A and B are shown apart, each in its own frame.
Chain A
Amino acid sequence: MCNVIDNSGAAVAECVKVLKMKRHAKVGDRIIVVVQKQRNFGPESGPGGSVSVSAANKVRRGDIRHAVVVRTAKKYQRPDGSVVKFDDNACVLINKGGEPIGSRLSGIVGREIREKGWSKILSLAPMHL
């Protein structure tokens, strides 16, 4: 399970597969996720307004999508010896071509996504670390 920090419409997604990897996913890895929870946009779309929510959202609950991991709660070591850890696991949804589905990100992303070649996600992020 990880938080989705873009404005694609998903809030929480569950990882079902880590691509090109036989182990757990790290920052910058591409994964396949199932959208578990949708995000509510705006105050007018209340708990009952499922119609407006689905209109604004690009993805729906139960969708299978690709995503990139941008934060991990598991601490990891950088080549310079420093150890970094975040408060949660977070990902950004992308399409099959590798472009982000959402147009905006909220929250910090790890610096490792630059080394893995996700510069588009990096440019959307408010801050990288």
Chain B
Amino acid sequence: MRTYDDTFSGQKIYPGKGKLFVRSDSKIFRFQNGKTESLFLQRKNPRRIAWTVLCRRQRRKGISEEQAKTRRRKQVKSQRAVVGASLDVIKERRSMRPEARSAARAEAIKLGKEKRTAAQSEKRAEKAKTAVKSGAGQTTGRWVYDDDSCIKRALLMINSVVGKQGAKGSAPKPKPTSR
């Protein structure tokens, strides 16, 4: 939705409201209501009329409230529990001395790394075992065809299926005459 500003008072003009005035020097003026239009045509100065936006801006009216509002919005900051760590744990970690904290961190990292390497080596060993087993099983398969017999069977199937009717193909579908 397109809204315009009143050229005199600075109010918003919503669609369907207001008047458009084009002066002979082809300058465009928009008025929200008859009050502003009248004042404009009386050649009043909007800076001297107390309720217009221009006047209020000039005299710094209503600006301090806006500033206070924005400041409050910035200050909001809170601590919350995250997925794996409750609020107590986070607070405890925060309150530790930095060198103690770094030491604990290093310890934790080391532990995690060891765990991971152990798991990996275990996995590798298992994989090797299974590979050996499957390699032994492959050579003694029961359902193995050589190529010749496959082709023969395929040919036979094709010959048997195609009869007189089959060669013609299916009958064309009758066109629908009514719905």
B24–A84 CB distance below 8 A: no
A81–B16 CB distance below 8 A: yes
- B interface, over-half SS: loop
A80–B15 CB distance below 8 A: yes
State which of B15, B21, B26 has its C-beta within 8 Å of the C-beta of A107.
Answer: B26
State which of A75, A87, A129 has its C-beta within 8 Å of the C-beta of B24.
Answer: A87
B71 to chain A, nearest CB (A): 40
A84–B20 CB distance below 8 A: yes
Say whether B77 faces chain A, with CB atoms less than 8 Å apart.
no
Known contacts: A81-B15, A129-B28. The answer to whether A87 contacts B20 by CB under 8 A is no
Say whether B18 faces chain A, with CB atoms less than 8 Å apart.
yes
- A interface, over-half SS: loop
Say whether B124 faces chain A, with CB atoms less than 8 Å apart.
no
B117 to chain A, nearest CB (A): 74
Q: How large is the interface on B (under 10, 10 to 19, 20 to 34, 35 or more residues)?
A: 10 to 19
Please report the number of residue pairs spanning A and B whose Cβ atoms sit closer than 8 angstroms.
39
Say whether A1 faces chain B, with CB atoms less than 8 Å apart.
no
Q: Once the chains are docked, how many angstroms separate the CA of A59 from the CA of B20?
A: 34
A129–B22 CB distance below 8 A: yes
Q: Once the chains are docked, how many angstroms separate the CA of A88 from the CA of B22?
A: 9
Known contacts: A107-B26, A108-B26, A129-B28. The answer to whether A85 contacts B15 by CB under 8 A is no
Say whether B17 faces chain A, with CB atoms less than 8 Å apart.
yes
A83–B18 CB distance below 8 A: yes
A85–B19 CB distance below 8 A: yes
Say whether B23 faces chain A, with CB atoms less than 8 Å apart.
yes
Q: Once the chains are docked, how many angstroms separate the CA of A129 from the CA of B24?
A: 13
A85–B26 CB distance below 8 A: no
A86–B22 CB distance below 8 A: yes
B118 to chain A, nearest CB (A): 75
Known contacts: A127-B26, A129-B28. The answer to whether A85 contacts B21 by CB under 8 A is yes
What are 7 sample pairs from A and B whose C-beta atoms fall under 8 A apart?
A: A82-B19, A84-B22, A87-B22, A107-B24, A108-B22, A108-B26, A129-B22
The interface of chain B, by Cβ under 8 A from chain A, is 15-24, 26, 28
